[in-house]
Amino acid sequence: MSTVSAPPRSVTVRVPAKVNCELRVGPLGADGYHELSTVFMAVGLYDEVTVTRAERWSVTTTGPYAAHVPSGSDNLAMRAARLLARHMRVTRAPVAIRIDKNIPVAGGMAGGSADAAGSLVACEHLWGLRMDRDELMELAAELGSDVPFCLAGGIAIGSGRGERLAPVLARGTYHWVFALSSQGLSTPEVFGEFDRLTTDISVPQPEPSPAMMTALRSGDPEALGDALVNDLQEPAFSLRPALRAVLDAGLEFGALGGIISGSGPTVAFLTGSSEHALDLCVALTASGVVDQVTRAKGPVHGVQILPGPTRE
Ligand code: C5P
């Protein structure tokens, strides 16, 4: 006897944050975006996105960063759900979206992009759409440069605006410590500061460094620590000078490497083990130079559907 399962009434997914182990910024294109070459790593700091069938569209946010998230139609998770509904001509589309927010907002860890990626996958599942992966990736790229990577997870090279992904041969697990700031930095402002500070007009086309590729292939955290590089670091320091002291403190306390994550202001430190990560968290907290610290391992999977949906 075959059984046909009823469509779920509600779907919950979890989506990881990202750190850019390498971020090289090239010229500003006519579309207002910079050509990038980046190496993304998904790390185990998660937002949970739940979509539930509803009479009208809504979004609510819980968790430590809830206060900083827009609740209207400019919320990225809402924009993602509506884009998917329009694209796939879904009738009876409205959903209530709930975001349990643990990834800092405007922190350089793809917090907003993670919610968009989560919303796409949750709605795809809720509406029973069996979409081609490439089609979903294209919609993701429309929503933001980091959204495709949040879907994919793991470790990947991003080119173009950061949305064109290629796999990386990598091994090992990396233990990160993140020094979080209570006030975010605006990504366009940091790119604007990069343009202001970059007087050399012949900015080279960016590409991943051999040192980074070798480090990831070897699984050696010391080599990865040495290879960390971010062209948005100086612009972020220029806009938020206090971040330099945070980076210096982490390195002084024995981190294998440190870097501004994405466009900041989160400072990411690489350590050699989970014990080392815990020691660094304690030292940074005691130092008083950071607002808040957290730690996470990477790489981890991209969007994952959590079990236990309620059914109609
Ligand atoms: O695509 P996303 O919404 O994440 O980008 C936010 C802003 O960051 C863009 O509007 C642009 O100002 C800047 N940006 C850029 N070059 C990129 C990615 C983002 O200048 N490759």
Ligand 1: distance of its center to the CA of 207 in Å? 18
CA nearest ligand 1 atom 12, residue: 188
> Each residue of 259-271: b (16+ CB within 10 Å) or e?
bbbbbbbbbbbbb
Q: What is the pLDDT of residue 4?
A: 60
Whole-model pTM above 0.75?
A: yes
- Give the integer Cα–Cα distance in Å for 305 and 98: 15
Domains of the chain are: 10-168 (3.30.230.10), 174-298 (3.30.70.890)
Do the Cβ atoms of 216 and 170 come closer than 8 Å?
Answer: yes
Q: Best mutation site among 186, 187, 205 for ligand 1, i.e. most ligand atoms within 8 A of its Cβ?
A: 187
146 Cβ inside 6 Å of ligand 1:
yes
Looking at residue 202, its pLDDT comes to: 65
Per residue in 233-257, pLDDT (tens digit) is 999 999 999 999 999 999 999 999 9
CA distance 34 to 108: 16
Return the residue whose CA atom lies nearest to atom 7 of ligand 1: 188
Contact 74 CB / ligand 1 (< 6 Å): no
Three-state DSSP class for residue 101: coil
Distance of CA 183 to CAs 57, 105, 221, 277, 289, Å?
29, 9, 29, 24, 14
Distances (CA, A) of 116 to 18, 208, 258: 14, 27, 28
- pLDDT confidence of residue 240: 97
State whether the beta carbon of 263 lies less than 6 angstroms from ligand 1.
no
Taking the centre of ligand 1 as the mean of its atom positions, its distance from the CA of residue 136, in whole angstroms, is 20
User: Does the pLDDT value for residue 311 go beyond 50?
Assistant: no
Q: What is the predicted pLDDT for the residue at 69?
A: 87
Amino acid at position 127, single letter: W
Question: CA dist 52 to 17, 61, 66, Å?
Answer: 23, 14, 19
End-to-end Cα, the chain, rounded Å: 21
Residue 11 CA to its chain's centroid (Å): 21
Dist. CA 107–CA 113, nearest whole Å:
11
Residue 114 annotated as binding site: yes
User: What are the residue numbers of the active site?
Assistant: 18, 146
pLDDT at 258 over 70: yes
In the DSSP assignment, the letter for residue 198 is -
105 lines ligand 1 (CB under 6 A): no
**Comparison of pLDDT for 206 and 188, the residue scoring more:** 188
Instruction: Quickly state the pLDDT bin for 220 (edges 50, 70, 90).
Output: very high
* Per-residue pLDDT tens digits for 112-138: 999 999 999 999 999 999 899 999 999
Integer Cα distance of 110 and 120 in angstroms: 15
Q: Any bridge partners for residue 287, and if so which? A: none
Of all atoms in ligand 1, which is nearest to the CA of residue 161?
A: 21
Per the prediction, the chain carries an average pLDDT of 93
Question: Measured from the CB, is residue 149 less than 6 Å from ligand 1?
Answer: no
pLDDT digits (tens, 9 = 90+) for 5-45: 677 899 999 999 999 999 999 988 899 999 999 999 999 99
91-115 pLDDT tens trace: 888 999 999 999 988 889 999 999 9
Measured CA to CA, the distance from residue 242 to residue 258 in angstroms comes to 15
Q: Averaged over 201-218, what is the pLDDT?
A: 85
pLDDT tens digits, 148-189: 999 999 999 999 999 999 999 999 999 999 999 988 899 999
Instruction: For residue 245, give the 3-state DSSP assignment.
Output: helix
